[in-house]
Structure 1
Amino acid sequence: MLSQRRLSTATLALGLVVLTDVLRVFLPSVITIFGQAASTPAELLGAFALGWFVLALAAPALVVRIGPHLVGIAAAALLGAARLALTAAPGGRAQLWLATAGLLAGLVWLAATAARVERPVPGLALGLTAGALGHALFGTYDPLWWGRWEAWAASLALVAALVVAEATLARRDGSAVRAGNQPAVGGLAWLLAGPALLLGGMVALSPAVASTAMSFWYGEAGTAAPPPFALAPLAVAAALFVLAALIPLGRRWRPLPPLLLVGGAVLFGYGPPTLLTFAMLLTAAGLGGCLALAGEVPVAQRHAGRVPARRAYAAVGGMLVFAVAAVVFYAAYDIGYPNGWLPAVVAALVGVVALRAVNGADDPRGASEGPQSSAPARVPLRAVNGADDPRGASEGPQSSAPARVPLRLAVLAALVAFLAAWVHGPWLVSSNRHGPPEQVRLVAYNIRMGFGLDGRFDLAGLDRAVGEADVVVLSEVDRGWLLNGGHDTLHLLAARLEMPYVFGPAAGPLWGDAVLSRWPVQGARTRPLPAVGAPTGAQALGVTIDFSAGVRLAVVSTHLQPPPGAEPVVQARAVADFAAGYADGLPLVVAGDFNTEPGDPAFTALTDAGLVDAFAPARPLPTSPADDPREQIDHIFVSPDLVATDPVAVPSTASDHLPVAVTLTLPTR
């Protein structure tokens, strides 16, 4: 039978995994269902998302009035029900409101848990790690998007474990409180729950960031095939995080975790993509160490009666920090301002809280004031958990070797990550073995991070829309944004299509454009485009496809970002110049989302550079929005020596754009 302390740790970890799952649906639902990304004001999207976190500030008062056990069980049941309902939801408004209800229930559950659990660091550390490893085992493709029996089995098992743990913990707490005669612990560790979830999901414990980071070791523009051991950084990061969080540092090493955390966050915000791996490892080690530092803070006896409520407010307040920071960071890509500083600011906040916590623990005045110091503080009956159970401190031989359990957990975390790397590792791809083809089918597609018009992550729909293409040019490719659920959309889609890829980052290292090909690619090169006031970054990615026998094709993928109220003329000219220099006489294709229509200045800048509109015979060919296309903004241009036939915009709602396709007849040498 689990001890009270271990049971509370397991309950917190399970609940955090379920809450994280719901967040991975809520955040992209705000973008794709409540709003339509750039077409809906970022301020409105942010206000909607933040409103629910602000509303949750009422949860601590509810917990105090009703009691944490009853509120905790009810909230856990609602959270679990929302998680299961999301697995069955068809998308659309139902998905948005189910995710919102699940988020609110999860925040209430977190407040109730904080009122009972005094030492949250083990549960927080294991919950964050388990959530990341579970995401890795499914290849960053959450089971709730599957709609298959495996998804239901995984969801039911997780939710059932949470509800059973909650009920068991509530039943045992009544007997545990009679042993509660230890000093109260403050809420600073709970205040770090939200920031830890943010930094863990953005960089430190993200499997998508790990695989993307590895791809940058294979050339300027990423890799032309899935990188081997793509999740190796996650294995190391998870082990470092667990060890740092569960093994306290000596006094002289206490400043190290905040320094590591801030250093990793700065590297994530401002470092080159090739250093993303090191940013991940530094952030993981620093974040775990800061959680350990904030683990215990004695509280003055005169405040002991208010400690449960203060912990509850700290937990919900920390989640509000999560929401504000996430909104501010990702809104920059719609509004237009620097955002690389934000992870560093959140990391600095975590470091300050951790150092203050440990300094308070060292201060003899921290535990009590005046003559009361000789008597231990008593905590109200409903506030006590297994941390006060004397049996929790020493059970069997483990008490003589406190580092043994964290070490085993770290090894287990690394093994699970390596298992995920093996399961989702490099796959065999189609290749040309019989000489160059006479014709090639090329598709250009703005995939909106993988989310369809119904707001669901729809790999199957993208697969159907692409069809039997030989070369695929993708725009709005997400490789790990927390805002979009932390998926590596490119890797998932490429694995489904069995096509290797090359990635060109545009807005930070995790968002950009890509080219997939059934034939070997070489010479990948990427060039940033002038921003000219546009909030979202843009780039041009060039690759050369080798069909053998001396037949090659230059392909340039781009996504122009128009400045406010103007045409992307400057970017269009930059793309044309880059493409001409890159092709250097080879047959050339330039494709993507150009955000300009035929006859507009940016469109004319491309045709004036000698490129041919491959869709001219089929005009008008509207491509956006997908459910009622009215705008012709997705294009394929070719050099005059290429013959383009069969132009079409493929009907699909797997994105907010339609994919466009042509058949290219390759010149022979």
Structure 2
Amino acid sequence: MRHRHLTTAMLALGVMLLLDVLRVWLPSIITIFGQAAATPAELLGAFAVSWFLLALAAPALVRRLGARPVGLVAAGALAGARLALTAAPGGRLQLWLACAGLLAGLVWLAATAAVVARPVSGLALGLVAAAVGHALLGTEDLVWRGGWPGWTLSALLAGAFLAVQAGAGRTRAAVSTGGSGGARAWLLAGPATLLAGQLALSPAVWDAAASYRHGSPDLPGLGLPPAHVPALPILAVGLFVVAAFTRPPRWLAPVLWPAALLAGAVLFAADRADWLGPAFLLAAGGLGGCLALADALTDTHTETDTNTDARTDTGTGGDTDDAHTGGGIDTRPDAGADTRSGGGTGAGSVGSGRRGHAAVGGMLVFAVAAVAYYAAYDLGYPNGWVPVALAVLVGVVAVTGRPAAASVLPGTAPAWTAVGLMLLTAVAAGIHRPVPATERRAVAAGNVRVVAYNVRMGFGLDGRLDLDGLARAVTGSRPDVVLLSEVDRGWLLNGGHDTLALLARRLRMPYVFAPAADPVWGDAVLSRWPVRSGETRPLPAGGAPTGAQALGVTLDLGGGARLAVVATHLQPPPGRGPVTQARQVAAFATRYAAGRPLVLAGDLNTEPGDPAFLEFTGAGLVDALASARPVPTSPADDPREQIDHVFVSPGVTAADVVAPRSTASDHLPVTVTLTLP
């Protein structure tokens, strides 16, 4: 394998492993360290950012010990931590393993930056390959799957990374000779990773956007599973690859790609579900193009190495020699750079240090932006500015510099790469197609079994993604209708999973989803009967940091029978009850039911007898759990609070109330059998 291809493969595989660790580390910070908002947001943020600040010492370590030994040790630690996470039982051990893997990954990035001046090809391939692989897994990471398939694939990925890392290290005769060239491209590693995982290359967001495009005039703005293989994710992958590995005219690229990325971020920040598809398409093309621009433009300061001979090679891509264009490392005997293990103290060493600091600094931007985005849901400020600010940063860094001569990948490689990844994305969409609606002709004896469950984005009390545990807690009641709260359809902060689609496949029940906090977080109704109409209503925040909504759907039970179902998750302002939201949901539900039998359920964050609870009974609704009170549902390991409820319209009777014990979430599900009039 040519050296430049070996370097690209090493960087791509390392990025994939680092993303695997981040998908565990981010939710571990929230669910284990933060205990799902029980820890102050300021403390949580300080703990998270401290690991990235600690990594700022990595470039100095690389200069002292040498890029190759530091890179090999850090790569081994990263791969080892990744494999250990698959076996971790959750809890504090998972948190510390994820932190160790993250720190190792950051040190590895700094060591790699010291010897790679042109990282864009490896970064871009790593980001898009990780996205396509995540799509092939249905957005459920190997680290959570376990079993022999999870272990085998994880070991193969880690082994391939270590083998390529060792091979790339053996082929390096010298460090990059390019002064500080490549620093701007490395600076984009962190922002690009966050934008890709949050929006542009998130398979879970692709799923959510595809579901919003499906439906009927009776279901405006509500997400139903698509009945076909969606084209949006396939197109997004193709746009990203083509933009990242080709160049439009120089007069067009500096305007086109930053503008596309900014437009995608703005559409995403607008929190409009129907804009989600255009948002990630624009972001995918814009992000890929900005990465290519950063590779095509070198740093504005001098690129001349004081150790070089009479050649004019700058080490940043100006030489179009095949051995030098892709990897950014000149391996010819006359390279003139210091070949000692520590990299020397000449201009090459200065440049490698700047690249190392740029790589770790870019990841620090990732950490600060991720914390700022999440803390908004604890502190109550708008967070749509975070992806917009990142898009502006990426665009500015991408267009400021001076042109370099070489392209990222020569020849037809971008076209074939795009086609291959698009085909794999299509296969993923076909494999994980949602379950179709089940037609039922009539309700047996007029009975409907209902389950209401706050699933905490799929994470159990041990901090591990536990979709099988959630499915067992639900299927044990043999439900006909399931109402879910805290449903996550793509938050990178929670690992980037489409929790709803994953759970729906396990339950073999189609779903309707309505967003609350943003287009990929909200509430859902799963039903064995067809949905005939629906409506969603946003609820006033009233000082509550997280958004809320009420989702109403009408189910066709067969024989002309209809059942109105309303799912919601009330979010009270700090220190107060959700009285205003409760009043509006009760009014919405009675109006939406229009005389039909009604069931309203969810995490209402109010106890029986509280003012918010009385808003529902005052509106004429009946507490379906009254005969079994008390029915505590939170916290799941020691339930003391009765905050998950089921209300019905007069004439609907309730029986067989159960709150099955499970630690697959921080709440217990509540189940009840309803007899319709």
The match for 1:169 is 168
Distance in 2 (CA, whole Å) between partners of 1:291 and 1:317 is 17
Closer, same or farther in 2 for the Cα pair 1:24/1:182, shift >3 Å?
closer
What are the superposed Cα offsets for residues 13-64 of structure 1, whole Å, 9 maximum, x if unpaired? 0000000000000000011111211222111111111111111111111111
The match for 1:201 is 197
The match for 1:109 is 108
State how 1:291-330 maps to structure 2 within 5 Å.
291-295=291-295, 296-297=297-298, 299-300=301-302, 301=304, 304-330=348-374
For structure 1, which runs of at least 5 residues remain unmatched after alignment? 368-392
What are the superposed Cα offsets for residues 412-466 of structure 1, whole Å, 9 maximum, x if unpaired? 1111100101111133454314565521110000000000001010011001110
Distance in 1 (CA, whole Å) between partners of 2:82 and 2:372 is 27
Distance in 2 (CA, whole Å) between partners of 1:72 and 1:275 is 42
Identical columns (%): 62
Per the TM alignment, residue 184 of structure 1 is displaced from its structure 2 partner at its CA by 6.1
Q: Is the 8 A contact 1:534 1:563 kept in 2?
A: yes
> SS where residue 640 of structure 2 aligns?
coil
Q: Is the 8 A contact 1:593 1:634 kept in 2?
A: yes
The match for 2:71 is 72
The match for 1:121 is 120
The match for 2:557 is 547
The match for 2:614 is 604
Distance in 1 (CA, whole Å) between partners of 2:573 and 2:541 is 8
2:555 is the counterpart of 1:556: no
Closer, same or farther in 2 for the Cα pair 1:585/1:142, shift >3 Å?
same
Distance in 2 (CA, whole Å) between partners of 1:620 and 1:470 is 24
Closer, same or farther in 2 for the Cα pair 1:308/1:216, shift >3 Å?
same
Letter in 2 for 1:628: D
2:421 is the counterpart of 1:422: no
Distance in 2 (CA, whole Å) between partners of 1:305 and 1:614 is 71
**Which of residues 345, 355, 361 in structure 1 aligns to 2:403?**
361
Letter in 2 for 1:348: V
Closer, same or farther in 2 for the Cα pair 1:166/1:552, shift >3 Å?
same
For structure 2, which runs of at least 5 residues remain unmatched after alignment? 307-346
Letter in 1 for 2:492: L
State how 1:566-645 maps to structure 2 within 5 Å.
566-645=576-655
> SS where residue 291 of structure 2 aligns?
helix
The match for 2:185 is 189
Distance in 1 (CA, whole Å) between partners of 2:34 and 2:266 is 31
> SS where residue 38 of structure 1 aligns?
coil
* Structure number with higher helix proportion: 1
Q: Is the 8 A contact 2:179 2:351 kept in 1?
A: no
Per the TM alignment, residue 552 of structure 1 is displaced from its structure 2 partner at its CA by 1.0
Closer, same or farther in 2 for the Cα pair 1:486/1:438, shift >3 Å?
same
What are the superposed Cα offsets for residues 139-163 of structure 1, whole Å, 9 maximum, x if unpaired? 0011111121000011000000000
Letter in 1 for 2:449: R
Distance in 1 (CA, whole Å) between partners of 2:53 and 2:461 is 28
> SS where residue 400 of structure 2 aligns?
helix
Distance in 1 (CA, whole Å) between partners of 2:15 and 2:6 is 14
Q: Is the 8 A contact 1:111 1:312 kept in 2?
A: yes
The match for 1:258 is 258
Per the TM alignment, residue 249 of structure 1 is displaced from its structure 2 partner at its CA by 2.8
The match for 2:464 is 456
2:23 is the counterpart of 1:24: yes
Letter in 2 for 1:278: P
Letter in 2 for 1:596: T
Distance in 1 (CA, whole Å) between partners of 2:555 and 2:248 is 53
Closer, same or farther in 2 for the Cα pair 1:625/1:639, shift >3 Å?
same
What are the superposed Cα offsets for residues 77-134 of structure 1, whole Å, 9 maximum, x if unpaired? 0000001001111111111111110000000001101111110010011000000000
State how 1:333-482 maps to structure 2 within 5 Å.
333-357=377-401, 360-361=402-403, 402-433=410-441, 437-467=445-475, 468-482=478-492
Distance in 2 (CA, whole Å) between partners of 1:342 and 1:426 is 32
2:676 is the counterpart of 1:650: no
The match for 1:376 is none
Q: Is the 8 A contact 1:194 1:318 kept in 2?
A: yes
The match for 2:316 is none
Letter in 2 for 1:651: R
Q: Is the 8 A contact 1:215 1:227 kept in 2?
A: no
> SS where residue 646 of structure 2 aligns?
strand
Closer, same or farther in 2 for the Cα pair 1:308/1:32, shift >3 Å?
same
Distance in 2 (CA, whole Å) between partners of 1:647 and 1:168 is 62
Per the TM alignment, residue 522 of structure 1 is displaced from its structure 2 partner at its CA by 1.9
Distance in 1 (CA, whole Å) between partners of 2:239 and 2:411 is 13
Letter in 2 for 1:514: A
Q: Is the 8 A contact 1:430 1:498 kept in 2?
A: no
Aligned residue-pair number: 626
Letter in 2 for 1:477: V
Distance in 2 (CA, whole Å) between partners of 1:183 and 1:531 is 53
> SS where residue 172 of structure 2 aligns?
helix
What are the superposed Cα offsets for residues 242-263 of structure 1, whole Å, 9 maximum, x if unpaired? 1111112321112211111111
State how 1:488-499 maps to structure 2 within 5 Å.
488-499=498-509
> SS where residue 506 of structure 1 aligns?
strand
Per the TM alignment, residue 221 of structure 1 is displaced from its structure 2 partner at its CA by 4.4
- Cα RMSD over matched residues? 1.7
Q: Is the 8 A contact 1:618 1:647 kept in 2?
A: yes
Letter in 2 for 1:188: R
Distance in 2 (CA, whole Å) between partners of 1:133 and 1:329 is 25
Q: Is the 8 A contact 1:221 1:502 kept in 2?
A: no
Q: Is the 8 A contact 1:221 1:503 kept in 2?
A: no
Q: Is the 8 A contact 1:224 1:521 kept in 2?
A: no
Distance in 2 (CA, whole Å) between partners of 1:221 and 1:70 is 54
* TM-score normalized by the length of structure 1: 0.91
Per the TM alignment, residue 220 of structure 1 is displaced from its structure 2 partner at its CA by 2.7
What are the superposed Cα offsets for residues 342-379 of structure 1, whole Å, 9 maximum, x if unpaired? 1111100000001113xx337xxxx9xxxxxxxxxxxx
Per the TM alignment, residue 304 of structure 1 is displaced from its structure 2 partner at its CA by 4.5
